[in-house]
Amino acid sequence: MPGVRRVVITGIGVFASPGKETDTFFCNLLSARSAIRRIQQWDPSNLSVQIAAEVPDYTPTDFFPLKRLDLLDRFTQFGLLAAREAVKSSGIEISDEERTRFGVVMGTGMGGAGTFDDTYYNLYAKNETRLHPFTIPKVMHNAVTSQICMEYGAQGPALAVCTACSSAGHAIGEAFHLIKFGMADIMLAGGSDAPITYGMIRSWESVRVLASGNGDPSRACRPFSADREGMVLGEGAAILVLEEWERARRRGAKVYAELAGYGLSSDAGHITQPSVTGPARAIRMALDEAGANPEDVDYINAHGTGTRLNDAVETQVIKEVFKDHARRVAISSTKSMHGHVMGATGAVELAATVMAIERGMIPPTANYTRPDPECDLDYVPNEARQQEVNVAVSNSFAFGGLNAVLLVRRFG
């Protein structure tokens, strides 16, 4: 199609519980190794849910000078660290003339949750009358976008997207369109979240969707399995370098995959229960934009939270869109290993999806024990699968009924 700008992925950065860079992250996924464990950041003893997928052994001063750190909530730190790997892996250099064509879109669900928690503890529990003046610049949901812009001198289009569990999916999709429709040439896009705070776990506990699994945390999250008990919160960030194809070609960039389709929709139904039609429309929209047929899709990285409802409904969604091909397409939920990374999860999962194309290896759904009559498709249980992946879809279906679907394709 002459005149249509194509968008390719030329860099990946992941800073999450299974790995603090992309290779380790993906290798651990392929090994079906869950990063979910007892919470270490603070003492979870008086909670009924005491587990999460935390970034292990993380010391902020290993990465940031103290002065800088004063203004960085944990979610912003993760975003910056993912951005550093993404930019480095892309080998990209941005000239001064290009800075206004270079932008950032980041998704986050909870923003500076840790800073809020600490601040409100000081306010309500310790009766402090003065709160720290850096509270607002740290908690604001756009802090991570702005800090990445500042670190890289990105002066083009920049946004923070906040659509709960679909945040990163929408962020990457919007960044894709900014390039495709000519408003930018290079975008850093992804998501970051650090929701493992006492207040946040307590709040999620009350929704009754979290797996407790305190006895064996690594087995707690069992998406699509008949004995699944719920989701597990995770933290981290992932960022992709999106680049207009002609620019990437001129500099001889390594292309991981083409970002070819983006679909989004609203259920307009229930604030927490997913529908079938809303997500199905988002998947169809992504297929249409990419000019792909359902049967072209080799792999679906599912939203697959591990709750009773999500996994059954998502299975119906896939059957609705893919018809007979639903039984042939490989589907997995990597949340079984990296947890539900909230506003970052769509980016973490797209990174896994792109790596599946790159390596010809599909990461499994870990902890799968037995089939559920309501979840009767191929979920790549427990073992990675060597398989060429040419077209893949990554699903994000958020609380609030806001859906984002990304389609990536082997390039060239």
Q: What angle do CA 52, 231, 80 make, to 5 degrees?
A: 50
Order the strands of the 330-332 sheet from edge to edge.
Answer: 158-161, 102-107, 186-193, 236-244, 7-16, 257-266, 402-409, 391-397, 299-301, 330-332
Helix-, strand-, coil-residue percentages of the chain, each rounded to 5: 40, 20, 40
Question: Under the criterion CB under 8 A, does residue 137 sit at the interface with another protein?
Answer: yes
CB-nearer residue toward another protein: 118 or 235? 118
Question: Under the criterion CB under 8 A, does residue 3 sit at the interface with another protein?
Answer: no
CB-nearer residue toward another protein: 137 or 363? 137
CB-nearer residue toward another protein: 160 or 391? 160
Instruction: Work out which of 3, 46, 130, 250 binds another protein, going by CB under 8 A.
Output: 130
With 0-12 / 13-18 / 19 or more C-beta atoms within 10 angstroms meaning exposed / middle / buried, residue 338 is buried
Question: Under the criterion CB under 8 A, does residue 125 sit at the interface with another protein?
Answer: no
Question: Under the criterion CB under 8 A, does residue 64 sit at the interface with another protein?
Answer: no
DSSP string, 341-410: -GGGHHHHHHHHHHHHHHHTEEPPBTT--SBBTTB-S---BSS-EE---SEEEEEEE-TTSEEEEEEEE-
Cα 264 to Cα 212: distance, rounded to the nearest angstrom: 32
Instruction: Work out which of 67, 126, 208, 250 binds another protein, going by CB under 8 A.
Output: 67
Least CB distance from residue 152 to another protein, whole Å?
Answer: 20
Instruction: Work out which of 23, 43, 70, 216 binds another protein, going by CB under 8 A.
Output: 70
**Is 149 in the active site?**
no
Binding segment (CB under 8 A) for another protein, from list 59-67, 186-194, 219-227, 298-306: 59-67
The radius of gyration of the chain from alpha carbons, rounded to an integer in Å, stands at 20
Binding segment (CB under 8 A) for another protein, from list 130-138, 179-187, 284-292, 304-312: 130-138
Least CB distance from residue 134 to another protein, whole Å?
Answer: 6
DSSP string, 308-327: HHHHHHHHHHHHHHHGGGGG
Which amino acid is it at 215? Answer: G
**Regarding beta strands 402-409 and 299-301, do their DSSP bridges make them parallel or antiparallel, or are they unpaired?**
unpaired
The DSSP output letter for 156 is S
**Is 340 in the active site?**
yes
Q: Exactly one of 141, 170, 177, 303 is catalytic; which is it?
A: 303
How many of the chain's residues bind another protein (CB under 8 A)?
Answer: 9
Instruction: Work out which of 2, 3, 133, 373 binds another protein, going by CB under 8 A.
Output: 133
Question: Under the criterion CB under 8 A, does residue 271 sit at the interface with another protein?
Answer: no
Q: Exactly one of 149, 162, 165, 375 is catalytic; which is it?
A: 165
Question: Under the criterion CB under 8 A, does residue 132 sit at the interface with another protein?
Answer: yes
Question: Under the criterion CB under 8 A, does residue 66 sit at the interface with another protein?
Answer: yes
Q: How many CB atoms lie within 10 A of CB 377?
A: 20
CB-nearer residue toward another protein: 130 or 250? 130
CB-nearer residue toward another protein: 67 or 250? 67
Contacts of 1 (CB under 8 A, 6+ apart): none
Binding segment (CB under 8 A) for another protein, from list 24-32, 60-68, 201-209, 238-246: 60-68
Binding segment (CB under 8 A) for another protein, from list 48-56, 62-70, 85-93, 102-110: 62-70
Question: Under the criterion CB under 8 A, does residue 126 sit at the interface with another protein?
Answer: no
Buried-state track 289-308, b at ≥16 Cβ within 10 A, e below 16 = bbebebebbbbbbbbbbbbe
Q: Calculate the alpha carbon distances from 171 to 85, 163, 298, 351, 372 in Å.
A: 18, 9, 24, 14, 33
CB-nearer residue toward another protein: 133 or 412? 133
Contact 113, 195 (CB under 8 A): yes
Cα 143 to Cα 108: distance, rounded to the nearest angstrom: 10
**Is 27 in the active site?**
no
CB-nearer residue toward another protein: 69 or 94? 69
Q: Calculate the alpha carbon distances from 103 to 100, 224, 352, 373 in Å.
A: 7, 37, 23, 45
Question: Under the criterion CB under 8 A, does residue 150 sit at the interface with another protein?
Answer: no
Q: What are phi and psi of 211, to 5 degrees?
A: -75, 135
CB-nearer residue toward another protein: 43 or 70? 70
Binding segment (CB under 8 A) for another protein, from list 41-49, 64-72, 173-181, 346-354: 64-72
Write out the catalytic residue numbers: 165, 303, 340
Chain contacts with another protein (rule: CB under 8 A): 65-67, 70, 130, 132-134, 137
